[in-house]
Structure 1
Amino acid sequence: MNGIPVIDLFAGPGGLCEGFASLTKGESRCFEIRVSIEKDPIAHKTLSLRALFRSFPVGKVPAAYYQYIRGEISREQLESDPVVIPYVKKSYAEARCAELGKNDHSEIDSWIRDGLAGAKEWVLIGGPPCQAYSIVGRSRMRGNNPKEFESDKRHFLYKEYLRIIKEFSPSVFVMENVKGMLTSQHSGSLIFNRILEDLQLPGNGHEYLVRSFVVPGEISDPDDFVIKSENFGIPQSRHRVILFGIRADIAESVPDLVNRPERFSLEQSPLVCARDVLDGLPPLRSKLSNRYDGMTDSVANWQKALTNGLKVLEKKKSAVPLRVLERAQWAVTKSWIHKSTGGQFIQSDISMNEPLASWYLDPEIGGVTLHETRSHMESDLHRYLFASSFAREEKRSPRLSDFPQALLPNHQNLNNESTPFLDRFRVQLRNQPSTTIVSHISKDGHYYIHPEPSQCRSLTVREAARLQTFPDNYFFEGNRTQQYHQVGNAVPPLLARKIAEIVLRLLQSAGL
């Protein structure tokens, strides 16, 4: 272990630590993930699998790993492979399943102490759970039970992060959370102000300078901490608060923090659109749900469902714009070439333009994993056909007011401007970054309709993972719902890598 030590708290499936671990120099990693802690057992299983992947020498991942993610062998068989066995213990020493703030502090501290192995200069990363800070989450909780909202312990899970800072004094910390953290209140005061003050003076004899990754120099507005991912080469409009904490003695040893602060800010990148990362994946049709419509899934029935949807759009009273109707007609005609609904593994030649190919693709996979479609009701397929055709022609996703009357959901107050989620059928536009991938993608696909009308479906797990910038060899454990949930909860690894480059530059400037 010769990389700079990293400890990851509230790690989820590992997006943030993946970005740090991806920085290499020759066959060595610039950062070494020593401990990553996650409470969810399924996300932890993903985390430990990726820890195993990183345990192998750079560029020398054994064939058994790829056999596992293709579904050819079990996890037990993977970990029993003679080439893999020497690395298994290390991966489980790194990825720990525990609930921070609940488990015994001494056990957590022993893991960190053993992981650091005496290192004095290291990096703490992670982000406390965001439900208490997110605008939707806190609106729901406060409305249902104001007293329970005020007593919700998740307001103060950052204090576990703070406790680790106080106990172990990292050189640098990177703390991520939702934008709603900036406006969340507790007991009548902004909780962000309290968090910022605590992080600046954690009570261990050290002070921390808390900077922004996007605004050089001193911060005058809390919004300066917000990173808009689409501005930095991420194919997703994801806006998150990310704090860059630097221990005062480290900061004082780096004059450029004052003289050339732009050196420690993210550089804007050309826009990366959804098509840039989705094109090249095997096209798929959706499955057809028979829960309500009584139609069993088959290619013929799926195409019949699309034809029925087209008939709805072709009726004069539907008043569908001609170019949208023509796009839908073309889509239904083209849909006949889509036979497959995908699977855990599809053997295929996967292509992508550089420089994205170097980040995403791994020829050892031999195709693509976790690229399997959901089942959709026929009525939703009709809506998806209209919505994706509309988006392709109008260059925007339709609101409910754009839908033909026959396709509107059976809800009250649909014409009321105060009705929430007027864009509840949201198409991901080809020529723009996607909207934010959140954990709600695990519930249904209505917010994540594929931009290609002829496929008439929501995004697969792999497509969502690509928009989140997970490399194709990153495998998510659990069932499909659990996989979606993990993807939506993660930090985009490519953004984390760009942040890691800044952290590395800072530490190198400090002579570490």
Structure 2
Amino acid sequence: MKNHNFIDLFAGASGMSEGFIKAGFNPVAHIEMNEEACFTIKTRSAYHYLKSENKLDVYYSYLKKEINREEFYKNIPDEILNSVINVEIDDNSIKDIFKKLVKEKGNIDLIIGGPPCQAYSLLGRHHDNIENDPRNKLYIQYGRFLKEFSPKAFVFENVPGILSANKGQHFKNLKTYFRKLGYEVYHDTLDASDYGVVQARKRIIIIGWKKESDFGFPDFEKSEKKYTVNEAFQDLPKLKPGEGYQYINYKEQKNKYLEKFNLRNGIDFVTQHISRPHNKRDLAIYKTAIRKWNHEQIRMKYPDLPEELKTHKNESSFIDRFKVVNGTGVSHTVVAHIAKDGHYYIHPDEEQCRSISVREAARLQSFPDDFYFEGSRSAAFKQIGNAVPPLMAYAIAKKMKDLL
């Protein structure tokens, strides 16, 4: 079976790409504006190359900081590193991008990706001038790639808010535009927790097919059961607030969840298990929130706090700013705000009493443990929060490959 070629637009940390590569697709380019995310993609592309060459020991040396990034990249062909294009897709850059990819014309089976979704999210709508936000029109740039490379199909991912933005007009315009480019367009809402991800994460998936090969909206295979956050975290060493390890051995054998979805991925140590520090007041709040959730299944609201733990008088907005991750079920949605503070992602274990680590956030998003996020701790959290869960992407990719 041939490897179908794809381009990943607005690639982020390449979570979506990871699922498609696992399903046997071949990435010819990733395009992303954030520099740290681009280094993450390069490092992951290096992993896939070294795996194909049976040289993963070089990758593990890098994870353990035995060699630096510059030395590590010397082991990777330039064509692989250069396939990651660090640029913002706009009217000024798009022609140069097409020049770099000129050899790929007629050679692309699929385009994937989701433009930045802040403009469509409910949080984003608090901005005064949201209707004129240029991010609302990024689907036009996406469409220019469809016009240039004429893939058989595309997969476009975004937040549910895209359906209702500007009273539904944006979505209507998007569908009309893609149809004018020669694609039949379908959409549905998927929940990542249906595909092995221990997180309730709803996303709009838009599928486009060239009119001569129209398969409608595919029926993606769901996981038979939902797993829990505690199962996803079970083998990770316990951490105190502010404690962390670039790499550390697992504390126990993998369980059925980790085995089934291959999150440990053959590696015998875990990377980036790093937690952020917290002050005494926050820790006291966390402990209150954890106890209330674990013992009473009640979400603590800000007005419920003892007076000595309150820091402001606003008790009517954002009253659920402290939230414990549900250990016995799936997590609430992981978003990029996790880079700012950990209040909304408190670890369910009272003994640890902290916000979740970088690796725990990655596990909630279903990234395998040998997936390395470049940049600072905050940069890693942001990349994880913005990502498409690889397990959900894999479910989409398997079906798309069958149909292609």
Q: Secondary structure at the match of 2:77?
A: helix
Q: Secondary structure at the match of 2:155?
A: strand
Gapped runs of 5+ residues in structure 1?
Answer: 24-29, 213-224, 288-340, 508-512
Question: 1:400 Cα deviation (Å)?
Answer: 2.4
TM-score scaled by structure 1?
A: 0.75
Match of residue 135, structure 1, among 122, 130, 143: 122
The CA distance in 1 between the partners of 2:239 and 2:388, in whole Å, is 27
CA contact (8 A) 1:211 1:245 kept: yes
Q: Which amino acid aligns with 1:105?
A: I
Judged with a 3 Å threshold, the aligned counterparts in structure 2 of structure 1 residues 352 and 103 are, in CA distance, closer, same or farther, namely farther
CA contact (8 A) 1:387 1:427 kept: yes
The CA distance in 2 between the partners of 1:65 and 1:489, in whole Å, is 25
Q: Secondary structure at the match of 2:111?
A: strand
Aligned to 1:18: 18
For 1:95-110, what aligned pairs fall within 5 Å after superposition? Answer: 95-110=84-99
Aligned to 1:410: 311
Question: 1:350 Cα deviation (Å)?
Answer: 5.0
Judged with a 3 Å threshold, the aligned counterparts in structure 2 of structure 1 residues 59 and 491 are, in CA distance, closer, same or farther, namely farther
Match of residue 354, structure 1, among 256, 280, 296: 256
Aligned to 1:235: 198
Query: Could you say which structure has the larger radius of gyration?
Result: 1
CA contact (8 A) 1:8 1:125 kept: yes
Question: 1:265 Cα deviation (Å)?
Answer: 3.2
CA contact (8 A) 1:6 1:34 kept: yes
Task: Show structure 1 runs of 4+ deviating over 6 A.
Answer: none
Question: 1:505 Cα deviation (Å)?
Answer: 1.5
Match of residue 482, structure 1, among 369, 373, 379: 379
The CA distance in 2 between the partners of 1:182 and 1:401, in whole Å, is 34
Match of residue 287, structure 2, among 385, 391, 416: 385
Judged with a 3 Å threshold, the aligned counterparts in structure 2 of structure 1 residues 283 and 355 are, in CA distance, closer, same or farther, namely closer
Match of residue 434, structure 1, among 325, 331, 337: 331
Aligned to 1:296: none
For 1:325-340, what aligned pairs fall within 5 Å after superposition? Answer: none
Seq. identity, %? 35
Larger mean Cα displacement after TM superposition, 463-472 or 61-70: 61-70
The CA distance in 2 between the partners of 1:490 and 1:378, in whole Å, is 31
Aligned to 1:195: 174
Q: Secondary structure at the match of 1:464?
A: helix
Question: 1:427 Cα deviation (Å)?
Answer: 0.1
In the alignment, structure 1 residue 279 sits paired with structure 2 residue 234: yes
CA contact (8 A) 2:31 2:86 kept: yes
Question: 1:8 Cα deviation (Å)?
Answer: 0.3
CA contact (8 A) 2:5 2:25 kept: yes
In the alignment, structure 1 residue 502 sits paired with structure 2 residue 399: yes
Aligned to 2:6: 6
The CA distance in 1 between the partners of 2:17 and 2:82, in whole Å, is 15
CA contact (8 A) 1:53 1:61 kept: no
Question: 1:118 Cα deviation (Å)?
Answer: 4.0
The CA distance in 1 between the partners of 2:256 and 2:329, in whole Å, is 18
For 1:9-88, what aligned pairs fall within 5 Å after superposition? Answer: 9-23=9-23, 30-58=24-52, 60-80=54-74, 84=75, 87-88=76-77
The CA distance in 1 between the partners of 2:362 and 2:98, in whole Å, is 32
Question: 1:94 Cα deviation (Å)?
Answer: 2.0
The CA distance in 1 between the partners of 2:253 and 2:201, in whole Å, is 25
Aligned to 1:425: 322
CA contact (8 A) 1:384 1:457 kept: yes
CA contact (8 A) 2:105 2:148 kept: no
The CA distance in 2 between the partners of 1:391 and 1:105, in whole Å, is 49
CA contact (8 A) 1:101 1:160 kept: yes
Question: 1:471 Cα deviation (Å)?
Answer: 0.3
The CA distance in 2 between the partners of 1:230 and 1:107, in whole Å, is 39
CA contact (8 A) 1:49 1:91 kept: no
Question: 1:494 Cα deviation (Å)?
Answer: 0.7
The CA distance in 2 between the partners of 1:459 and 1:439, in whole Å, is 14
Aligned to 2:299: 397
CA offsets per residue over residues 222-255 of structure 1, 9 Å max, x none? xxx211222332100111111111111112xx6x
CA contact (8 A) 2:289 2:322 kept: yes
For 1:271-310, what aligned pairs fall within 5 Å after superposition? Answer: 271-287=226-242
Q: Which has the higher contact order (CA 8 A, sep 6+)?
A: 2
The CA distance in 2 between the partners of 1:436 and 1:411, in whole Å, is 26
Q: Which amino acid aligns with 2:312?
A: H
CA offsets per residue over residues 66-115 of structure 1, 9 Å max, x none? 111122220112123xxx2xx3313223211111015432221133332x
Q: Secondary structure at the match of 1:465?
A: helix
Judged with a 3 Å threshold, the aligned counterparts in structure 2 of structure 1 residues 57 and 167 are, in CA distance, closer, same or farther, namely same
Judged with a 3 Å threshold, the aligned counterparts in structure 2 of structure 1 residues 113 and 348 are, in CA distance, closer, same or farther, namely same
The CA distance in 1 between the partners of 2:77 and 2:291, in whole Å, is 49
Aligned to 2:185: 210
In the alignment, structure 1 residue 167 sits paired with structure 2 residue 122: no
Judged with a 3 Å threshold, the aligned counterparts in structure 2 of structure 1 residues 360 and 268 are, in CA distance, closer, same or farther, namely closer
Q: Which amino acid aligns with 2:185?
A: V
The alignment's C-alpha RMSD in Å is 2.0
CA offsets per residue over residues 114-144 of structure 1, 9 Å max, x none? 2x3642x5010001111211111121x12xx
The CA distance in 2 between the partners of 1:360 and 1:211, in whole Å, is 31
Q: Secondary structure at the match of 1:359?
A: coil
Aligned length: 403
Q: Secondary structure at the match of 2:82?
A: helix
Aligned to 2:269: 367
Q: Secondary structure at the match of 1:375?
A: coil
CA offsets per residue over residues 174-211 of structure 1, 9 Å max, x none? 001111111111xx762111111111222xxx2x2222
CA contact (8 A) 1:51 1:94 kept: no
Judged with a 3 Å threshold, the aligned counterparts in structure 2 of structure 1 residues 393 and 51 are, in CA distance, closer, same or farther, namely same
Q: Which amino acid aligns with 1:248?
A: K
Q: Which amino acid aligns with 1:281?
A: L
Aligned to 1:322: none
Q: Which amino acid aligns with 2:46?
A: L
The CA distance in 1 between the partners of 2:6 and 2:27, in whole Å, is 5
The CA distance in 2 between the partners of 1:232 and 1:475, in whole Å, is 22
CA contact (8 A) 1:264 1:506 kept: no
Question: 1:486 Cα deviation (Å)?
Answer: 0.5
The CA distance in 1 between the partners of 2:345 and 2:119, in whole Å, is 24
CA offsets per residue over residues 278-311 of structure 1, 9 Å max, x none? 1110001113xxxxxxxxxxxxxxxxxxxxxxxx
Q: Secondary structure at the match of 1:157?
A: helix
